[in-house]
Structures are given as structure tokens and as C-alpha cells.
Structure 1
């Protein structure tokens, strides 16, 4: 029988993945109805979710430091916690860059990339939910493969968005600004894949 403290780790992972998904959904709402005049207020709202994610991360690290026995290796707990926290951080950083570069309108390419980020976050949430039962789960490995596929799709969208930016835009400042935003969106997909990779490694080591 699993100890309560074991379940606490997996519960925290689920909470962290959920915060990342909520952050992506809020960012999508903000960009779908984009108003540069509201950006400062919206940044604060998004940062509230990021702070919630940080609280879960701190709780996770406190438990790792305190517990004599952990359900999986300490290094894996720490690695997964950091990756899940980084997903939320990277999503928040998309809006920070939009604010920093004073972007006035959102491109269709950005919305398409953000949609893929959302799909990645949904699958990460699904994988993390199944993580405590990975030996019996019939879906966790399929979802990890799907995250890998979505990350590749994100890479392709990133390449095409960059090509369009550098062949169509005549404004060098706009090119610089959107280059940074596209890089940040692609980074969100990468971090989702990194979290899935940590879980896959844990499964391999424990089965």
C-alpha cells in the first residue's frame, strides 16, 4: 500500500501540471481578444498563476528534503518538478515578451503555435495524472509519444513562422520582436517534452 506521503508527491505533480494548463488557457484568452491597453493588468493576473505554481514547487522541494524515503528517486522528483514549473514560467514569458516589445497585434502564426502549446499541456496533465499508476496505465506511454509528436509539430510551425517573418516583414523592429515571441512559444513545447522525457525515464527505470 502506498504511503500518504507518496501520494502527496503525485498530487503536487498534478497540481503543477494543472497550473501550467490554466496559464496556457488564460494566455489564449488574452491573445484571442488582444488589447495592448490591458496588458499590464493581464500580466499581473497571469503572474498570479505563476506564483501558485511556485508555491507547489516549493512544497515539493520541502518534502524531498524532509522525507527519508521517496516513491521515486529524488533526482527524478526534482527534475520533474523543475520541468513542470518551467512550463508555467515559459508560458508567462510569452506575454512578458509581447509587453516588452510593445507588440500591438497578434499574428495568426502565434495563435497556431499557442494552440499546440495547449495540446502539449493537456497531454502533460494527462500523463502526470496517470503517473502514480504508471505500471498499470494503458495510456501514459501513448500520451508521451503524442507529446513528442506535438513538439515536432511545434518545431515545424516555428520554422514556417520564422520564414514568413523574414521574407514578408519589412519592419526590422517587428522582425526582432516576433522572433523572440516565436522562440518563446517553441520553448514552451520543448519544456513539455522535457517533462514527458523525465517521466518516461522513471517508467523505464522502474519496470
Structure 2
């Protein structure tokens, strides 16, 4: 190994990690927007197209997560603790996975009715993705700590709203829906959507941990 290679190994790779995190969180917005359109359109062809788009965006997210983990292995010095880099990358990847899982279930279960709870949870997911991206974009300098903390507060509030929507929706399913198959299908979809909001909160918690350690 050359002296230059050894030197590069010890140089902090801020130029690597932060752009990758911003790409990952920006990709979540793509996923959230596609999901939101999916649950608001009645065009079956468009639904199929959007479901495929969501799958493609999820694969993009997987690639970015893989790149982040590769950079951790290649670099001795990182912009913040390795466990926090891993936790944040994993939380972002989990959000993408559950958005994709929600859309896939809608297609597999042949769900065409856009129910209000499904729409509301999708809107909350998009809101969480937007707030998360806003916070992630401030990580590179930590000068606008208030932007990050405010985004985390909004994500926590969003997750609380999602819990209420989910619980109310499931209660209504059991009370008013007579078709047992539909109850199972919608409960599975609602659960995946609600879990996506939980993962947004997990990512926000990691951001708050990074702030405590580095502010």
C-alpha cells in the first residue's frame, strides 16, 4: 500500500458519507410521493406503473445503503460514530422497505379501493420523509441544529398521528367490515404503512443521538 493510500485511509470522508445520506433521504421522498399518488388514483394502469416505480426506488435505496456500508469499511475516520452511521442508514433503508412492502401488498391483494385511513397514513409517511430529508441535509455542518430538532419533533408528532389513524382504522374494520378476507388484507396494508412511520421515528431518534454526541 502506498503512502498516499495510507494517508487517504485516515482522511475523514465527509464528502462521501453526507452526499450518500442526502441521496438516501431524497430517495425516500420519491418513494413517499409515488405511494401518495398510488393511494389517490383510481387509474389501474397508473397504479401498476407507480407500484413498479416504488419497487425501482426501493432498489435504488438498497444500493445507496450498500455504498454507505462499503465506505464504513474503507475509511478509518468517519464524520460521526460508526454505530450511528449504521443505525441511520438502516433506519432509512427500513422506511423504503416498508413503503415498498405496503405498495406490493396492495397489488398482490388486488386492493383498488382508496380508503381514507390508507390515504391518511400515506400522506403522513410522505410528510415524515420530507422532514427527515430536511434534517439529513443539515448534518454536514450541524450549524442549523434547530432545523434538525424541529424536523425530529414533527416526525415524532407525525408518528403519534399515524398510531391514532391505524388504531381507529383497525377498530372500524372489525366493527363494520363483514368480509373476513378484506379485514385481513386491509389490516396487513395498514400495519405496513404504520410501521413505515415507526421507522421514520427511529431515524429521527438516531439524528437526535448524533446531535447529542456532536453538537
Question: Which TM-score tier does this pair reach, normalised by the shorter chain?
Answer: over 0.9
For 2:124, which of 116, 119, 125 is the aligned residue? 116
**1:95-114 C-alpha deviation (Å, 9 max, x unpaired):** 11112222131211110111
The 10-residue stretch of structure 1 (32-41 or 69-78) with the greater mean CA deviation from structure 2: 32-41
Query: In the comparison of the two structures, how many residue pairs are matched?
Result: 205
The aligned residue for residue 195 of structure 1 is: 203
Distance in 1, Cα, partners of 2:204 & 2:93: 13
Correspondence 1:153 to 2:161: yes
Structure 2 length normalisation: TM-score?
Answer: 0.90
Alignment of 1:45-194 (within 5 A): 45-194=53-202
For 1:32, which of 37, 40, 50 is the aligned residue? 40
Contact 2:31 2:57 in 1 (8 A): yes
In the TM superposition, residue 72 of structure 1 has moved relative to its aligned partner by 0.6
In the TM superposition, residue 29 of structure 1 has moved relative to its aligned partner by 1.4
Distance in 2, Cα, partners of 1:57 & 1:34: 33
Structure 1 residues 119 and 38: alpha-carbon distance in aligned structure 2, compared to 1, 3 A threshold:
closer
Give 3-state SS (helix, strand or coil) of 1:72's partner: coil
The 10-residue stretch of structure 1 (35-44 or 95-104) with the greater mean CA deviation from structure 2: 35-44
Give 3-state SS (helix, strand or coil) of 1:131's partner: coil
Whose Rg is larger?
2
Distance in 2, Cα, partners of 1:109 & 1:15: 29
Structure 1 length normalisation: TM-score?
Answer: 0.93
> C-alpha root-mean-square deviation of aligned residues, in Å?
1.6
Distance in 1, Cα, partners of 2:28 & 2:126: 9
